[in-house]
């Protein structure tokens, strides 16, 4: 099955700084999903990308799917304390999640 | 809709004990799955089901059994608990398998002593 690697494992930023997490697969993905898990909570769906080179935005969050459909990224502009949590990517077809990037934000 | 519900929220077991983690959804979703979450290892798929009467193994199925007698329920059974099964367990459901949002339950935190 596909292996989904996510980097970095941890990221600590000052409030207002940007943040990016990357997801890389050893095989071509049919689609990719991103989830956010707040501390003590459960993962919540953010978005799904399907097309090669696709870019989607949700307010300060920008999601990209690589041209080869083997990588994806999530970029947060001007982080806020509400962005704290762990962000996971998931290769949906094989239902495998990356290990996640834990984001902490210093006010 | 209640969404995906899980019981219990917390459980402590002794090594060798058995128990069942309950999961139910009221969204009429065909697809359900169980994940375990361990620090630094993300979410690993244990078992999944694409519909009533159909189940299959995920990445880490050993030590766990599942059944799907109804669309709504997907219990996870630990046959003989081991300390390595200490984890947080999440049940999920979705309309389909490949392209749909997975809805997560609130999780069960299991400790095996």
Q: What per-residue confidence (pLDDT) applies to A91?
A: 86
User: Considering CB atoms only, which of A41, A42, A98 is closest to B42?
Assistant: A98
Q: What is the mean pLDDT of chain A?
A: 93
Chain A hits for B44, CB-CB cut-off 8 Å, are 97
Predicted pLDDT of residue B99: 66
- In chain A, which residues have their Cβ closer than 8 Å to the Cβ of B48? 95
- What per-residue confidence (pLDDT) applies to B98? 67
Residue-wise pLDDT tens digits, B51-97: 999 999 999 999 999 999 999 999 999 999 999 999 999 999 998 77
Cα(A27)–Cα(A105) distance, integer angstroms:
33
Helix (H, G, I), strand (E, B) or coil at A82: helix
Which of B33, B59, B107 lies closest to A42 in CB terms? B107
Q: Is the pLDDT of residue A56 over 90?
A: yes
Query: With contact defined as beta carbons under 8 Å apart, do A60 and A101 qualify?
Result: no
- Would you say residue A2 has pLDDT above 70? no
Tell me the average pLDDT across B39-50. Answer: 90
Predicted confidence at residue B100, as pLDDT, reads: 78
Structure confidence at residue A60 (pLDDT): 98
d(CA A44, CA B21): 21
- Specify the 3-state DSSP secondary structure of B18: coil
* Inter-chain touch A95–B33, beta carbons under 8 Å: yes
Is B41's CB within 8 Å of A95's CB? no
Q: Which residues of A touch B91 (CB under 8 A)?
A: none
- The mean per-residue pLDDT over the stretch A83-90 comes to 96
- Which residue's structure tokens are 């519900």? B5
Residue B17 has pLDDT above 90, yes or no: yes
* Residues of A engaging B, defined by a Cβ cutoff of 8 Å: 1, 6, 9, 30-31, 33, 35, 41-45, 48, 50, 88, 90, 92-93, 95-100
- As a whole number, the mean pLDDT across chain B is 94
Cα–Cα distance for residue pair B3/B44, rounded to 1 Å: 21
Q: What's the pLDDT score for residue A23?
A: 96
């Amino acid at each position: 099955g596909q292996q989904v690697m996510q980097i970095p494992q941890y990221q600590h930023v000052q409030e207002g700084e940007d943040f990016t997490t990357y997801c890389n697969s050893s095989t071509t993905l049919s689609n990719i999903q991103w989830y956010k898990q707040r501390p003590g909570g459960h993962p919540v769906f953010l978005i799904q990308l399907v097309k090669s080179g696709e870019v989607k935005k949700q307010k300060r969050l920008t999601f990209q799917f690589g041209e080869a459909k083997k990588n994806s990224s999530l970029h947060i502009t001007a982080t806020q304390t509400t962005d704290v949590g762990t962000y996971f990517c998931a290769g949906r077809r094989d239902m495998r999640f990356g290990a996640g990037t834990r984001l902490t934000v210093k006010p | 809709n209640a969404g995906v519900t899980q019981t219990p929220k917390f459980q402590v077991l002794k090594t060798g004990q058995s128990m069942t983690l309950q999961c139910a959804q009221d969204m009429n979703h065909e697809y359900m799955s169980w994940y375990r979450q361990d620090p630094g290892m993300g979410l690993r798929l244990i078992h999944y089901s694409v519909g009533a009467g159909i189940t299959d193994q995920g990445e880490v199925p050993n030590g766990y059994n599942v059944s799907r007698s109804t669309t709504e329920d997907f219990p996870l059974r630990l046959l003989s608990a081991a300390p390595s099964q200490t984890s947080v367990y999440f049940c999920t459901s979705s309309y389909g398998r490949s392209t749909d949002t997975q809805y997560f339950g609130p999780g069960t935190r299991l400790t095996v002593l």
